[in-house]
Chains A and B, each alone.
Chain A
Amino acid sequence: QITLKESGPALVKPTQTLTLTCTFSGFSLSTNGVGVGWIRQPPGKALEWLALFYWNEDKRYSSSLKNRLTIRKDTSRNQVVLTMTNMDPVDTASYYCALWRTEGGWFDPWGQGTLVTVSS
């Protein structure tokens, strides 16, 4: 069974750096064709893809946020970590991680998400 779970602070202050961790099980990020992505969703708004870490260590970022994002993996702990710098109240959102596979290209399954509020 494949599961993913997001963790991180519920509240961050403006200008701070957000660090989120996706802990997964049921698959290996070393397996050919596998990736872990991050997607966010402001309250009541649409989904927005942020970043993707591929099995071959390649990384892709949202065009609009690439200067603020870093994605990396911690193989020893089956985790993918996303950092976002210079947080702003508009970054308040539920942040999801999800499994991605090259044989498809969609995200499935998703974690339950973690709500991050940016406020002073």
Chain B
Amino acid sequence: DIVMTQSPDSLAVSLGERATINCKSSQSLLYSSNNKNYLVWYQQKPGQPPKVLIYWASTRESGVPDRFSGSGSGTDFTLTISSLQAEDVAVYYCQQYYSPPLTFGGGTKVEIK
């Protein structure tokens, strides 16, 4: 199974400041035939199901604010919130879809400092 490791477990960021979340996979998620990384980022707010933010590691879902960006390739990925807003308080998860069994990271809780 591909193990997904997120860091940090939680972080507190001041409003308007940058938040950076890391996700590391135990094997490469880059599929050579199409040069795509099989990684998605979800946002989960309290009491709600997860919502897709970023897929293919760096493609923003329609309607997601452009302060959210994804980067990385292979085994190391990053979700960046460029200017944290109050409504961004949530837990963020990465998930690989390179191969079953599909696996999630442990989540990163983002709070306001």
Residues of A whose CB lies within 8 Å of any CB of B are: 37, 39, 46-49, 52, 60-63, 96, 98, 104-113
**With A47-B50, A47-B107 already in contact, 6 other A-B pairs whose C-beta atoms are closer than 8 Å:** A49-B103, A104-B55, A105-B98, A108-B61, A110-B50, A110-B51
List of A residues within 8 angstroms of B52 by Cβ? 106-108
> What are 25 A-B contacts with C-beta separation under 8 Å?
A39-B104, A46-B93, A47-B50, A47-B95, A47-B104, A47-B107, A48-B104, A49-B101, A49-B102, A49-B104, A52-B100, A61-B101, A62-B101, A63-B1, A63-B101, A96-B50, A98-B49, A104-B55, A105-B38, A105-B97, A105-B98, A106-B40, A107-B52, A110-B50, A113-B49
Q: Which residues of B in the span 22-72 have a Cβ within 8 Å of any Cβ on A?
A: 38, 40, 42, 44, 48-52, 55, 61
Task: Map CB proximity to A onto B92-112 as digits: 1 under 8 Å, 0 otherwise.
Answer: 010101101111111100000
* B interface, CB within 8 angstroms of A: 1, 38, 40, 42, 44, 48-52, 55, 61, 93, 95, 97-98, 100-107
CB distance from B35 to the nearest CB of A (A): 15
Judging by beta carbons under 8 Å apart, are A105 and B104 in contact?
Answer: no
Contact between B49 and A112, CB atoms less than 8 A apart? yes
Distance (whole angstroms) from the CB of A71 to the closest CB of chain B: 13
CB within 8 Å: A-B pair count = 59
Q: Complex Cα distance A62/B103, Å?
A: 9
Give the contacting residue for B106; candidates A46, A104, A107, A109; CB below 8 A: A46
Residues of B within 8 A of A49 (CB): 95, 101-104
Across the interface, which residues of B come within 8 angstroms of A62, CB to CB? 101
B77 to chain A, nearest CB (A): 14
6 closest Cβ pairs, A-B complex: A105-B97, A110-B49, A106-B40, A49-B102, A47-B104, A60-B100
Question: Taking the nearest CB of chain B, how far is it from the CB of A67, in angstroms?
Answer: 14
A18 to B67, CA, bound (A): 41
What is the bound-complex CA distance between A96 and B49, given in angstroms? 8
A47, chain B: closest CB distance, angstroms: 4
